[in-house]
């Protein structure tokens, strides 16, 4: 089991804070650098959620919570870190500047991981002195509960570093998905973007409100996708006739007229207004804090339920927890 | 509470059989017509699954299971039916012929509902004598567990019939989503089609295997979508800055280079082979029957978990079950 004792987080927004939460819950000491004046306050708010969630998720005792050290510089944050996580805004040049700064101070064996949701690792690592230790590790919000992390190496990333990263992310309860070919937005966000584009058209054209679309998701296919993906779902739907039969039947639908809306809708003021006001009408009666708690409570129930079936994300959780059991039973 | 005592199912494939299951579990007597020689065998297999699922889903005693009557003709099946469900193959002309036959025998007050996943109700009802009683009620597989049903009226559908249908589907534990504007594929399948198109590209271009894509779904955003939809999820991600801020930030990504794959991939033999063989490698060690059971066990856990939180599909289930409780407590 590859575990780490110290990590650094550069950039403490929603994603950075989620990383901090997941790491400290696994006993890792985390040094944070974020120049924003309200960074600590925002991180503390996420940690309130994550502590509540972990307590509720499992009745096993995990490792003692790691400390969070707020630092004044990248240099200070990188000191002793075995894993350095970059979660700064999605601008290539900004990130490259951050890596240059990190490389001035990072241990030569430290892994440098970007949380980018779409920029190519080869571009990100282009000007690094030691690019072989760089990779993308793209998590999903809330990072402290969702197990998926997409691991993407660039052309200069060493395969040993990919393997080591895979083991580290497993050790903090995640499901690392090794993306074998570099592509913008990787896998999950490409799928999400296609959904988002279609959703925008439906709202823009007045076919559906944001509430209609959300209900179409959460009362229908969203329930399926918490446990089986797109292909397994269709495999089952195809029945004994098999996947080939299913695709041959389903395939031609792609040529039907409803495929026409594949260009990108203009996000003009009118559409932004429409979405924002429909969303307010749908969920404006809840605070974001309240919605986060509802979301986390639901995710906990789903993860616990899947754990009872030892399946998918629940299996990841069960495997992870079995380490605590083994540790507790280990007389050494 | 609008309930029905008798329904007819014309076409007993996966969807038709799912309807039968949901209806009989709610005490409705169902007459079935399907000319396929193995129809009864296939329906019985679905009923094995659904009986198992309902028993496990709730420890409340629902209505006494309705009978299934296998019929020799549309005429026989339609006799006494208050709701007539058409689940025949997705061809407009075939469906129109079936409606003509149904109208010869149906009670004038019966609702005629198509399970089509994409054909416009105005086209389907075009040649009917009493088109005002026709609508689309599009369910999702497995029909006996997923609550979503999209209700879509055509230009000649009466609004009273839509309201009546809404109440009937609620009475059998579903969440009717009234689609206000006719559009091919309605809401959920438009979203699903966009996902499917992107997934096909990812496989075709060798970026990801079917397993990679399924894992990207079920370890990540699939967990989110079982309980909140696309817009609520982004609303929460946007934090206190609000939905407008989130969209303005996120929107420009749609213009990034990863939007290029919006045309439809050719489903040639090579791609069909690739998908079928990757799917075999991913899940060929399980029979379809086994996968159905796993799926249903997972859906049951998810629904029960969400019920404990009285949220989304779990709230639908709780509302539905409260009727049995009320009935049990009703001294009359």
> Within an 8 Å CB–CB cutoff, is residue A232 touching chain B?
yes
- A103 min Cα distance to partner chain B (Å): 29
Q: From chain B, pick out residues whose CB is under 8 angstroms from the CB of A44.
A: none
Which of B119, B151, B179 marks a domain boundary? B179
Could you tell me if A127 and A205 lie in one domain? no
Buried b (16+ CB within 10 A) or exposed e, A161-173: bbebbbebbbbbb
**Number of domains present in the structure of chain A:** 2
Residue ranges of chain A whose pLDDT lies below 70: 1, 249-264, 326-332
Residues of A in contact with B316 (CB under 8 A): 219
Specify whether B30 is located in the same domain as B64: yes
Residue of chain B with shortest Cα separation from A297: B309
Pairwise CB contact (< 8 Å): A215 & B229: yes
A30 and A151 fall within a common domain: yes
pLDDT at position B234: 87
The CATH number given to whatever domain includes residue A96 is 3.40.50.720
- CB distance from A304 to chain B under 8 Å? yes
3-state secondary structure (DSSP) of residue B152: strand
- Domain around B264: 188-327
**Listed residue (A151, A152, A277, A154) closest to A209, CA to CA:** A277
Q: What is the pLDDT of residues A71-112, one digit of tens each?
A: 999 999 999 999 999 999 999 999 999 999 999 999 999 999
Best of B15, B39, B199, B221 to disrupt the A interface (most A CBs within 10 Å) is: B221
Cα-Cα-Cα-Cα dihedral sign, residues B320, B324, B329, B332: positive
Is A72 in the same domain as A122?
yes
A104, A218: one domain? no
Is the CB of A146 less than 8 angstroms away from the CB of B219?
A: yes
CA distance A318 to chain B (A): 14
- Residue of B89, B172, B227 to mutate, testing the A interface (most A Cβ within 10 Å of its Cβ): B227
C-alpha to C-alpha distance for A104 and B144, rounded to whole angstroms: 60
The partner residue sitting opposite B283, judged by closest CB among A216, A232, A275, is: A232
Q: Is the ipTM value over 0.85, yes or no? A: yes
Cβ atoms of B7 and B84 closer than 8 Å: yes
Is A1 part of a structural domain of the chain?
no
Q: Tokens 């004994």 — which residue?
A: A240
Whether pTM exceeds 0.80:
yes
* Residue in A191, A237, A299 closest to B223 by CB: A299
Q: How far is B330 from chain A (nearest CA, A)?
A: 30
What is the C-alpha end-to-end distance of chain A, expressed in Å?
Answer: 16
B131 & B236 share domain: no
Q: Are residues B27 and B175 in the same domain?
A: yes
How high is the pLDDT of residue B260?
44
What residue in B sits closest to A202 (Cα-Cα)?
A: B187
Task: Quote the pLDDT of residue A132.
Answer: 98
What number of CA atoms fall less than 13 Å from residue A294's CA on the CB side? 18
CA A154 to chain centre: 19
Shared domain check, B75 and B101: yes
pLDDT in tens, A177-205: 999 999 989 999 999 988 988 898 899 88
Each of the 332 residues of chain B gets a pLDDT tens digit; together they read 678 999 999 999 999 999 999 999 999 999 999 999 999 999 999 999 999 999 999 877 788 999 999 999 999 999 999 999 999 999 999 999 999 999 999 999 999 999 999 999 999 999 999 999 999 999 999 999 999 999 999 999 999 999 999 999 999 999 999 999 999 899 999 999 889 888 988 998 899 999 999 999 999 999 999 999 999 998 888 777 777 777 776 665 555 544 445 566 777 888 888 888 898 899 989 888 899 999 999 999 999 999 999 999 999 999 988 887 766 555 54
Q: In this structure, is residue B332 part of a structural domain?
A: no
């Amino acid at each position: 089991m590859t575990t780490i004792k110290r990590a650094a987080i550069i950039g403490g927004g929603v994603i950075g804070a989620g990383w901090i939460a997941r790491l400290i819950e696994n006993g890792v000491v985390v040094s944070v650098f974020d120049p924003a004046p309200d960074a600590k306050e925002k991180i503390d708010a996420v940690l309130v959620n994550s502590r509540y969630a972990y307590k509720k998720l499992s009745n096993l005792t995990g490792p003692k919570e790691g400390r969070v050290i707020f630092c004044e510089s990248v240099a200070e944050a990188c000191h002793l870190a075995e894993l350095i996580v970059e979660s700064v805004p999605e601008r290539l040049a900004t990130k490259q500047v951050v890596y240059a700064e990190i490389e001035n101070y990072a241990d030569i064996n430290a892994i440098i991981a970007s949380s980018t949701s779409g920029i190519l690792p080869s571009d990100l690592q282009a000007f690094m002195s030691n690019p072989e230790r760089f990779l993308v590790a793209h998590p999903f919000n809330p990072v402290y509960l969702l197990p998926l992390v997409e691991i993407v190496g660039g052309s200069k990333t060493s395969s040993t570093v990919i393997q080591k990263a895979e083991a580290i992310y497993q050790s903090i309860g995640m499901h690392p998905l090794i993306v074998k070919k570099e592509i913008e937005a990787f896998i999950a966000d490409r799928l999400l973007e296609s959904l988002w584009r279609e959703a925008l058209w439906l709202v823009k054209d007045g076919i559906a409100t944001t509430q209609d679309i959300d209900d179409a998701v959460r009362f229908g296919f969203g329930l399926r996708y918490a446990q089986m993906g797109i292909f397994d779902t269709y495999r089952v739907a195809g029945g004994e006739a098999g996947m080939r039969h299913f695709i041959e039947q389903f395939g031609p639908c792609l040529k039907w007229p409803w495929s026409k809306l594949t260009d990108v809708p203009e996000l003009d003021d009118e559409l932004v207004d429409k979405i924002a006001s429909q969303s307010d009408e749908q969920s404006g009666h809840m605070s974001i804090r309240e919605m986060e708690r509802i979301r986390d409570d639901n995710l906990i129930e789903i993860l616990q339920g899947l754990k009872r079936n030892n399946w998918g994300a629940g299996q990841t959780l069960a495997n992870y927890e079995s380490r605590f059991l083994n540790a507790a039973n280990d007389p050494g």
